[in-house]
Structure 1
Amino acid sequence: MDGSSAGPAGAVGLLRSAFAPGAPDSPQGPYLPLALLREIAPVLHDEELDTRFLTGFADCQAVLSGPAFAVPDGDWLRRERPEWAARPAAEFFYASLLGTNGAAHERLRAPLTAAFGPRRVAELSAGVEKTVEELLDRFADATSDGGAADFQEIVGYPLPVAVVGELIGVPRADRERFHRLGRDAARLLEPVRSDEDWHRADAAVTVLREYFAALLRERRARPTGDLASALLAQAGADRHPGVDRHPGAESPPDGGRHRAGARQPLGEGELADLLLLVFVAGFETTAGLLGTAVHTLLTHPGQAALLRADPGLLPGAVEEVLRWDGPVLMTERLALRPVGVGGVTVPAGGSVTAVLGAANRDPDRYPDPDAFLVHRTGVRVLSFGAGPHYCFGAALARLEGALLLGRLLERFPRLAPAGEPVRRSSACLRSFDVLPLAATG
């Protein structure tokens, strides 16, 4: 059934109540209105926003994975939103991994494959464990007098900032100020952007671009083992295929013309933008996952007890957190041609918004979807997207979540909420700004 502003009574009102930034939080969050919306209008055309909101798992998965849909890109920007085109933040976003399709997207994504592959993530495990211990030491010190401390400030944000900063090559002394800049740049993820969103995103992108351009210049002169150095080396190999093979390597039969490096190499500005995206994407949503995971377990003490008794449940518990309240609530796609979704025809160029949070609680996909169960099996979430734009950092985020939860529950058996948490004011991102906890609750 296709809802519209003149369709099922209250459908648009349910949508507004689910996505309103700063709306009163509740145990159901936005999920109760989204569940009701799925029942009365699983494909809801919001005429004011001119997009069709999808709340069913199958529909969302089909849109994210299918070849008939693409993300809004630079061509869309210049055609549909020319007033944005001169903005630094828009120019960055719609030329980035998040705003490109097809060959342009693969060209940007390919250099990151090794950096975020299973082998590299496994290699990072020891460093993540060390950082977890250091941050939990700080949390222990902050709560040693029996009082409360803000978990997000001490652990939730610093952990992913440290992990992705170490991966990229951002010096430790520079990472703290990137918290604010990264949050400002992440305002580009909002489905409706205010003038203030654009102003702050433009300023943040400008500063971060300059920073990563300078970091690349430094790594070009003095390479290390970080991602910035690896991207420079890969770009050099792409420009001169076969030249910087390791000694003794055989030349390919075609002289290197058709190796991976045959694609157009990334320029300096593109490399800086790629590092910018990796940094912001690598901590902003992961910080949301970490805070939500901790809060969810503490408000479900029976499930936390199961994890303490059986740490083998930790990876599944992270998946259940992602399903139950993932860090990204929705994402947009455009139809490349007329295509049917949920019994409704979306015209060519029509916008659809996959509501990931609603899809992950679809009762047709998960029995008892509103229950948080760390032993749930068969969980395949859409929280990291699907298809060509599946999140390249998903494995690293999962690793951080499992390692943090395991050590937190072990070290602080009496951990408890110690005040009212403050949710981030966002229609798209599910995260905490403040999460007060006590170690002796």
Structure 2
Amino acid sequence: MRTLMDAESVLLSVLTPEGRANPHPSFAELRRLAPIHRSEALDTHFLTRFAECHAVLTNHEFLVPDLTWCSSNIPDWREHPAADFFYSSLLGSNGAVHDRLRRPVARAFGVRRIAALRRTVEKITEELLDGFAEATSSGGAANFQELVGDPLPVAVAGGLIGVPRADQEHFHRLGRDASRLLEPVRTADDWARADGAVDTLREYFTGLLRERRARPADDFASALHTQHAPGDTPLTERERVDILLLLFVAGFETTSGMLGLTVFALLTHPGELALVRADPDLATAAVEESLRWDTPVVMTERIAARPLELAPSVTVPEGASVTAVLTAANRDPGHHPDPDAFTVRRQGTRVLSFSAGTHFCPGAALARSEGAALVRRLVHRFPGLGLAGEPVRRASVSLRSFDDLPLVTTG
């Protein structure tokens, strides 16, 4: 009983401002005390070892919360546009419904498409670094997250979908507001912000689809009107709108976090930064190690479709909630030796940062490509790059990113 009380106390410490800033010690202690911990306060089983997290994410009988779950757990969900969106979209669907919604998205992020986008990613990266260079040219500091980390994935996702560059700057705040529903504990303010953002974004993408019907272009919004797999029921207008909404928000929300976290990790490990500067081909490995060391998406929830075994002595009943703590799994010493060390030449890295199984993030390759392009150009252009004060982290339990990452280029 004492161990369970201690484990619950450690878990809840992650919800404090100090715990949000650095959850890794708490998750390591939780893994030591109870690697499968049933939280009474949050009504879910928390998993902190890589093996159990991977097993749950790749087992199709562990479902994402969907509209069926929503009807039982959020009785007033119809009054919340954000709930209607999250629990009926690709993010909140299972089985045949999920497969049908995912197929057009998979085509958008195919190998050829990602390869074709690389030059675009490099061009946008260079343009944004020009602006960052200008902002720091007098020797002062500039917020790297605001000038580069956020707008890079916004521009890439916007270009892929077909959102004009002039419209993109407004979407960062809306994406952040919509993602409040990813928090494990939601306040009335979270719901209000998420509902307002979803309403605004749905209205925008409805208009964009109308425009593309009249004047098709070489973008995903245009392709959604004509592409569907043989035998599939054509997508409804609402499904098309929500696919665009999800791709745009997901396309930059976690990637922007990854970019800032990667730069911060390198700057706080000068020896590793020197390795990447000497060998730019290590940029890809640096991004992968950053994804492991400070995972942008902290946790993700699944629901047991029937009584299922989490471990030889632990079975959860049908309908039980299970939370895979991705950031803890990626620092599991049983999977990654010396997990708290940031090492760009680490061997055998295998992360859950983009989930796994049927809900593996379709944009993972594009996000990694953006990260590698940024690191490669950044270390080349700014040999004196350095921190210029204490960064301000985002006030979120589920998502890791910076609001302010102050850097100088003459440090």
TM-score band by shorter chain is: over 0.9
Deviation at residue 24 of structure 1 after TM alignment: 6.3
Give the 3 Å change call, closer, same or farther, for CA 110–25 of structure 1 in structure 2.
Answer: closer
**What one-letter code is carried by the residue in structure 1 that aligns with 2:230?**
G
Alignment of 1:242-321 (within 5 A): 260-321=229-290
Partner of 2:179: 186
Partner of 1:403: 373
Unaligned runs of 5+ in 2: none
Partner of residue 73, structure 1? 66
**Alignment RMSD (CA, Å):** 1.2
Q: Secondary structure at the match of 1:354?
A: strand
1:229 aligns with 2:198: no
Distance in 2, matches of 1:334 and 1:92, equals 18
2:353 to 383, 387, 409: 383
Aligned residue type for 2:103: A
Sequence identity (%)? 62
In 2, Cα distance between equivalents of 1:202 and 1:396: 28
For residue 57 of structure 1, what is the amino acid of its counterpart?
Answer: F
- The alpha-carbon deviation at position 31 of structure 1 amounts to 0.6
Q: Say whether 1:214 aligns with 2:183.
A: no
Residue 168 of structure 1 pairs with residue 161 of structure 2: yes
For residue 249 of structure 1, what is the aligned residue in structure 2?
Answer: none
Structure 1: how far apart are the matches of 2:162 and 2:26? 43
TM-aligned CA deviation for residue 25 of structure 1: 6.8
CA apart distance, 1:85: 3.0
**CA shift digits 1:231-251 (9 cap, x unpaired):** 1121xxx4xxxxxxxxxxxxx
Contact in 1 for aligned 2:292/2:351 (Cα 8 Å): yes
**Count of paired positions:** 410
Give, in angstroms, the shift of residue 7 of structure 1: 4.1
What CA deviation, in whole Å up to 9, does each residue of 1:48-100 have, x standing for no partner?
21100000000000000012210110011112221223211100110011110
What letter corresponds to residue 11 of structure 2 in structure 1? Answer: L
Q: Which runs of 5+ in 1 are unaligned?
A: 239-259
Which residue in 2 is equivalent to 1:95? 88
- Partner Cα separation in structure 1 for residue 20 and residue 67 of structure 2: 36
Q: Does 1:151 align with 2:147?
A: no
AA of the residue aligned to 1:47: E
Question: 151-160 or 73-82, which moves further after superposition?
Answer: 73-82
CA distance in 2, matches of 1:214, 1:73: 27
Matched residue of 2:249: which SS? helix
The Cα shift of 1:143 comes to 0.2
Opposite residue 78 of structure 2, the aligned amino acid is A
Q: Secondary structure at the match of 2:185?
A: coil
1:366 is the counterpart of 2:359: no
Task: Could you list the structure 1 runs, at least 4 aligned residues long, displaced by more than 3 angstroms after superposition.
Answer: 6-9
Q: Deviations over 1:141-200 (max 9, x none)?
A: 000000000001100000000000010000111000111111101111111111000001
Q: Is 1:56 the counterpart of 2:49 in the alignment?
A: yes
Q: CA deviation at 1:279?
A: 0.3
| Alpha-carbon distance between aligned partners in 2 of 1:24 and 1:211, rounded to the nearest angstrom | 37
Of 400, 404, 409, which residue of structure 2 is paired with 1:434?
A: 404
Residue matched to 1:136? 129
Is 2:73 the counterpart of 1:104? no
Equivalent pair of 1:322/1:383 in contact (CA under 8 Å): yes
Partners of 2:20 and 2:395 within 8 A in 1: no
* Separation in 1, partners of 2:266, 2:171: 28
- Give per-residue Cα distances to partners, 1:268-313, cap 9 Å, x unaligned: 1110110000000000100000000000100000000000111121
Is the contact between residue 416 and residue 437 of structure 1 (CA under 8 Å) also seen in structure 2?
A: yes
Amino acid aligned to 1:95: S
8 Å contact kept, 2:60–2:358: no
TM-score by length of 2: 0.98
Secondary structure at 2:352's aligned position in 1?
A: coil
How far the C-alpha of 1:261 sits from its partner, in A, is: 2.5
Q: Aligned partners of 1:7 and 1:339: how far apart in 2?
A: 24
Please state if 1:323 is matched with 2:292: yes
**Could you say which residue in structure 2 is the equivalent of 1:242?**
none
Alignment-derived partner of residue 6 in structure 2 = 10
Displacement after TM superposition at 1:9 (Å): 4.3
Shift of 1:423: 0.3
TM-score by length of 1: 0.91
- Distance, in Å, in 2 between the alignment partners of 1:318 and 1:8 is 36
Shift of 1:121: 0.5
Alignment check: 8 A CA contact 1:150 1:435 kept: yes
- Match of 1:332, SS state, is strand
Q: Whole-Å Cα distance in 1 between the matches of residues 353 and 333 of structure 2?
A: 16
Tell me which structure has the larger Cα radius of gyration. 1
| Distance in 1, Cα, partners of 2:78 & 2:53 | 29
* 3-state SS, counterpart of residue 224 of structure 2: helix
The one-letter code matched in structure 1 to 2:368 is R
Structure 1 SS opposite 2:407: strand
Structure 2 Cα separation of the partners of residues 171 and 66 of structure 1: 39
Contact 1:77 1:85 in 2 (8 A): no
Counterpart residue identity of residue 348, structure 2: G
Superposed displacement of residue 420, structure 1: 1.2
- 2:25 corresponds to which letter in structure 1? L
Q: Residue 430 of structure 1 aligns to which amino acid in structure 2?
A: R
By how many angstroms is 1:46 displaced?
0.5
